Structure 1
Amino acid sequence: MAPLRMRGITRSIAFARTNSDGAGDGLVARSMLMCGFVPMQGAGSIPEQHIELAGNTVVLRLDDGTTTVDPDALTAAIAGPRTEVWSGVTLPGRTSFETLLLWLTGQPGPYGRLFVDREQAVERFGGVVVPFAAVSPAFLTGDSLAHLVLRKLDEQTAAEQPPQEQRWEFGAHGFGPDAAAVADRLCDAIRAWDRHAPNPHIVVYPTGTTVPPNDGGLRLLVPRRHTTIAVTWPTPSPTSPPAAQPASTPVSAATT
């Protein structure tokens, strides 16, 4: 059993040492639980990069040495108008979606987590920067970002319904010149998760070990000081086409 951090996502994982499943001398995950823990301190630590986009009100955290962004451009983006895109994927209240968070972590391309003091953000940005929680997964480009959001459907009757009967929809809020494109990409990933929601196969390889080739499914490689973590999602079976994509909607502080 070991705590593991992958692009900022933390899980407690039970591993088994085995020479099967293509793991060689690696450790293969047998079970996994969502958890939080204090990061490793001292010489063996791998610190996150914290980029303040609006003082301590909005902070972008990067746990990936390959991700580079323009802090000044992202600061300007957050201060600008917002673009909304909704995925059409819904779920009832009090339903866990921790597998979605791990799925988004594994998507190719720059990735970070947006930490927002929501009370201060409302005062400072007039309700434009409103993630679903204090920390939200974010897809990035050099000068734009989009983060995960949730909205409650049917606000008129939801207050009268038990939480488990309320419906919530996933979406994305985008900022910057490429806001719509990045938000669309995030919603595409949400719809892909909803279609097949696979469980990932996680193997930890010692540094210097050749990681076996991927079979075509999505794979995230997390290099660490002494290991490489391979998180692989199987290729989904053919399914029905994705739901139609709602149009992107620009939102500014003056209209919220």
Structure 2
Amino acid sequence: MELRTSALAALCEPDPGQKVLRTQVLRRDASTLTLDTAAALHCDAPLPGRPAQPVWVDHTAVPKRSLRTPEGRAALVHALCHIEFNAINLALDAIWRFAGMPERYYLDWLQVADEEALHFSLLREHLQSLGFDYGDFEAHGGLWSMAERTAQDVLARMALVPRTLEARGLDATPAVQTKFRHMGDHRAAAILDIILRDEVGHVAIGNRWYAWLCQQAQLDPLQTYAELARTHAAPRLRKPFNLEARRAAGFSEEELSRLDQA
């Protein structure tokens, strides 16, 4: 078995439980697999593999539910669960899609995929304890749409998925944790502690490979990021920013100073 081909197979898997299992087995067995970093792989199947439920809708069509109701609180957990499901797919996609990167790149993103699978499983188990399951609420495909927009450019992918979309998660998580604590859902808040810790590492991996790619191409990272964000219509970043987490993830003080002026 070959690692990148196996990652594509896991990405194509529609059943969430099986996708998690395939990803975990792939990480466990990675040292026994071959790795063809040069192969230009192709996929004719629609990506990502996903179940019939939840129905994906535009982000403006996702119903807003009161957090004062059990259904509303479950819907918030479901939204986080959906983010982590997409995060598994994003990491797997980064492995199979982009040829010609160093071996460490593929192993880094396999680590990310495995940790995202854990996050999804923890949130899904909690959602089930609330009487619901993944697929019971509508969800949007915003995260995956950026993967589609950056499918032809690994530099853009590193700039705009881990360094932008996942970094927004670093900013948003503390406020979401506060909401859960106010609702008395301390289990959800504890799961987000795990997720925040791991996501700092995921964003750091994105920062490392973005910097490496800029260095290889002799590009200025700050100027290049601004150009890529415009070209691929990246979402505008909004305050408040979790500067401590962003520092831990490898953002420079110059980047953070520009960020704080947004």
The verdict on a shared fold, with TM-score over 0.5 as the criterion, is: no
Q: Which one has the bigger strand percentage?
A: 1
TM-score tier after normalising by the smaller chain length: under 0.3
TM-score by length of 1: 0.27
Report which structure shows greater RCO (CA 8 Å, sep ≥6): 1
**Structure of larger gyration radius:** 1
